[in-house]
Structure formats: C-alpha cells, structure tokens
C-alpha cells in the first residue's frame, strides 16, 4: 500500500464514446500537473480512456514522469451512445443508489470500488506518492468502500467529483476528498 493522489480527469467534451478534454479541461490538467510536481509525485498512472489519458499527458509534461496506462483505473460505466443520454443517466443513478445493481452487464458500484481498491492496495510503497488519473464515479465508488456515505462531503455521491479534483489516500485511509484549491 502507498500514498496516492486520485486525480479526476479534466473537464470533458459532452459527447458519447470516448470524449477528450475541453480547453478548460486542458488548463485544469496543466494546473494540476504543477501542483503535483510540487507534491513530489514519483509515479503516474492513467485510465486508458481518452479524457484521462489527455489529463495524464498534461500532468506528465509538467512532472516529467512516464505514464503507465491501466484499465483498472477506468470508469465503471461510460456512455457509448447505444442508448440515449437520459437512459444512461437513469442507469447510472440506479447503480449509484443500489451499489450491487449491475447495469447493462457492466460493473456494480461496489465491484468498481473493489477494483480500484485492489489496484491502490497493490501499489508498491517505493512509488509513493503516486498519481492515479481516473474518473469521478469509480473514485466515489472507492470512497464509499472506505467510508460511510455520511462521512463523505454533502452532495458528492449525487453530484460527483469536480474536474481535476484531487482525493488523497494514505494506506487506504482517506486524507482529503475532491480538493480543488490548486485550480484557483
């Protein structure tokens, strides 16, 4: 186990499939990279989804770290356009309320949280601190595995994690949740 920064990807385009970052999202990622460079980041991992990869690319440009892609950092659900956005959001909300519901044959919230938990627990301590560019849903799923919903900031489960917010975990203990001060 190790000390990690879970980094929500930057603001993304509102498109189905595998959207990239907006101009704002690229700016957020660059600011996050500067903050992480000053935090002494030693390793950088990223979800393979485009919005996370683009965020990691901008962080890597500032920190000089190589990016290691890992599918265990991906989101639990991704709107691919095979259903309407409203249908997707309804399934997302149901899976968020019922952590064991498996939407469209994907993962439940609990399964996604377990997946990210296993990834974080397996990271070698020599890589600390490590940056993990991931997604708000799966980060929230992990937080809900580590904390009760009552311990989470009000509205986090319903509203999600803001773009480029950083959540800090130390040996699977939550230190801070969805911090955005570095974006000011």
In a domain, 85, yes or no: no
Residue 11: which CATH number? Answer: 3.40.50.1240
Quote the domain boundaries for residue 170: 6-76+112-183
Supply the pLDDT for residue 126: 87
Name the nearest CA neighbour of 76 among 46, 124, 27, 111: 111
50 occurs within a structural domain: yes
Question: pLDDT value at position 106?
Answer: 84
Kindly state the average pLDDT of the residues 28-57.
97
| Count of domains observed in the chain | 1
Rounded to two decimals, the pTM is 0.95
The predicted model gives 163-183 an average pLDDT of 97
Q: Phi, psi at residue 151, to the nearest 5°? A: -80, -15
Residues 113, 134, 143, 184: what is their CA dihedral angle, to the nearest 10 degrees? -170
171 has pLDDT over 90? yes
Judge whether 103 lies within some domain.
no
Mean pLDDT, the chain, whole residue set: 95
Domain membership of residue 101 (yes or no) is no
Residue 105 lies in a domain: no
Taking 90 as the threshold, does the pLDDT of residue 18 lie above it?
yes
Whether the predicted pLDDT of 176 surpasses 80 = yes
Structure tokens at 2: 């190790």
Confirm whether 177 is domain-assigned: yes
At 62-107, the pLDDT tens digits run 999 999 999 999 999 999 989 999 999 999 999 999 999 998 778 9
Q: What is the pLDDT of residues 104-122, one digit of tens each?
A: 778 999 999 999 999 999 9
Q: Is 1 inside a domain boundary? A: no
19 domain-assigned? yes
């Amino acid at each position: 186990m190790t000390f990690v920064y879970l980094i929500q990807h930057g603001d993304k385009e509102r498109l189905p499939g595998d959207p990239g970052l907006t101009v704002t999202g690229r700016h957020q990622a660059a600011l996050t990279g500067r903050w992480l460079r000053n935090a002494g980041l030693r390793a950088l991992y990223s979800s393979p989804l485009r919005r996370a990869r683009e965020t990691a690319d901008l962080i890597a440009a500032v920190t000089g770290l190589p990016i290691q892609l890992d599918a265990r950092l991906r989101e639990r659900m991704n709107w691919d356009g095979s259903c309407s956005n409203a249908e997707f959001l309804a399934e997302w909300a149901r899976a968020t309320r019922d952590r064991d519901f498996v939407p469209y044959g994907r993962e439940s919230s609990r399964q996604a949280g377990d997946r990210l938990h296993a990834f974080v627990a397996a990271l070698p301590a020599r890589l600390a601190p490590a940056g993990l560019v991931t997604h708000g849903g799966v980060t929230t799923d992990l937080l809900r595995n580590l904390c009760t919903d009552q311990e989470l900031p009000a509205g986090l489960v319903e509203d999600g994690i803001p773009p480029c917010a950083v959540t800090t975990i130390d040996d699977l203990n939550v230190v801070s949740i969805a911090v955005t001060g570095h974006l000011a």
